[in-house]
Structure 1
Amino acid sequence: MRIRRVLTTREGGVSTAPYDSFNLGDHVGDDPTAVSANRERLAEGIGLDPTRLVWMEQVHGRTVTTVTAPLDSPAEATDALVTAEPNLALVVLTADCVPVLLGDPTTGVIGAVHAGRVGARVGVVPAAVKAMTDLGAKPENIEVLLGPAVCGKCYEVPAAMMADVEKHLPGSASKSRAAKPALDLRAGLWAQLAALGIGKLGVDPRCTFEERTLFSHRREPGTGRLGGVIWVDPS
Structure 2
Amino acid sequence: MSVEVIRARRLGDVPHGFFGRRGGVSDGMVAGLNAGLGSADDPAAVAENRRLATDAVLPGAALLGLYQIHSAEAVVVTAPYAAAARPRADALVTDRPGLLLGILTADCAPVLFADRDAGVVGAAHAGWKGALGGVTDATLAAMASLGARRERIVAAIGPCIARASYEVDDGFLRTFAEADAANERFFADGRAGHHQFDLEAYVAHRLAAAGVTRIEALGLDTYGDEERFYSFRRATHRGEADYGRQISVIGLG
Q: Same fold (TM over 0.5)?
A: yes
Partner of 2:235: 220
When structure 1 is superposed on structure 2, of 214-223 and 40-49 the one drifting more is: 40-49
Which residue, 7, 27, 32 being the options, matches 2:18?
Answer: 7
The 8 Å contact of residues 165 and 172 in structure 1, kept in 2 or not, is answered as no
Partner of 2:187: 174
1:65 matched to 2:43? The reply is no
Which residue, 161, 164, 169 being the options, matches 1:150?
Answer: 161
Which residue, 127, 140, 148 being the options, matches 2:151?
Answer: 140
Question: In 1, Cα distance between the equivalents of 2:177 and 2:42?
Answer: 38
* Secondary structure of residue in 2 paired with 1:137: coil
Unaligned runs of 5+ in 2: 1-11, 237-241
* Change in CA separation of 1:176 and 1:101 when aligned onto 2, cut-off 3 Å: farther
Size of the aligned set, in residue pairs, is 232
1:195 matched to 2:233? The reply is no
Amino acid in structure 1 at the alignment position of 2:230: F
The 8 Å contact of residues 153 and 177 in structure 1, kept in 2 or not, is answered as no
Task: Give the TM-score normalised by the residue count of structure 2.
Answer: 0.86
Question: In 1, Cα distance between the equivalents of 2:60 and 2:165?
Answer: 38
* Secondary structure of residue in 1 paired with 2:53: helix
Which residue, 132, 141, 146 being the options, matches 1:130?
Answer: 141
* CA displacement at 1:54 relative to structure 2: 0.6
For residues 196-222 of structure 1, what are the alpha-carbon distances to aligned partners after superposition, in whole Å with 9 as ceiling and x for unaligned?
111310011111011121001111132
Amino acid in structure 2 at the alignment position of 1:72: A
Question: In 2, Cα distance between the equivalents of 1:214 and 1:189?
Answer: 20
* CA displacement at 1:88 relative to structure 2: 1.1
* Change in CA separation of 1:4 and 1:153 when aligned onto 2, cut-off 3 Å: same
For residues 34-57 of structure 1, what are the alpha-carbon distances to aligned partners after superposition, in whole Å with 9 as ceiling and x for unaligned?
11111121222224226x111111
* Secondary structure of residue in 2 paired with 1:107: coil
* Secondary structure of residue in 2 paired with 1:144: strand
Q: How does 1:100-111 map to 2 (within 5 A)?
A: 100-111=111-122
The 8 Å contact of residues 166 and 172 in structure 1, kept in 2 or not, is answered as no
Query: Which structure has more helix as a fraction of its residues?
Result: 2
The 8 Å contact of residues 115 and 152 in structure 2, kept in 1 or not, is answered as yes
Amino acid in structure 2 at the alignment position of 1:119: G
* CA displacement at 1:172 relative to structure 2: 6.4
The 8 Å contact of residues 67 and 81 in structure 1, kept in 2 or not, is answered as yes
For residues 155-179 of structure 1, what are the alpha-carbon distances to aligned partners after superposition, in whole Å with 9 as ceiling and x for unaligned?
1111121121244373663226658
Unaligned runs of 5+ in 1: none
Task: Give the TM-score normalised by the residue count of structure 1.
Answer: 0.92
* Secondary structure of residue in 2 paired with 1:157: strand
Question: In 2, Cα distance between the equivalents of 1:75 and 1:27?
Answer: 13
1:185 matched to 2:199? The reply is yes
* CA displacement at 1:105 relative to structure 2: 0.9
The 8 Å contact of residues 87 and 232 in structure 1, kept in 2 or not, is answered as yes
* CA displacement at 1:231 relative to structure 2: 1.0
Extract structure 1 runs of 4+ deviating beyond 6 A.
Answer: none
1:119 matched to 2:130? The reply is yes
Question: In 2, Cα distance between the equivalents of 1:219 and 1:210?
Answer: 8
Partner of 1:53: 63
The 8 Å contact of residues 162 and 182 in structure 1, kept in 2 or not, is answered as no
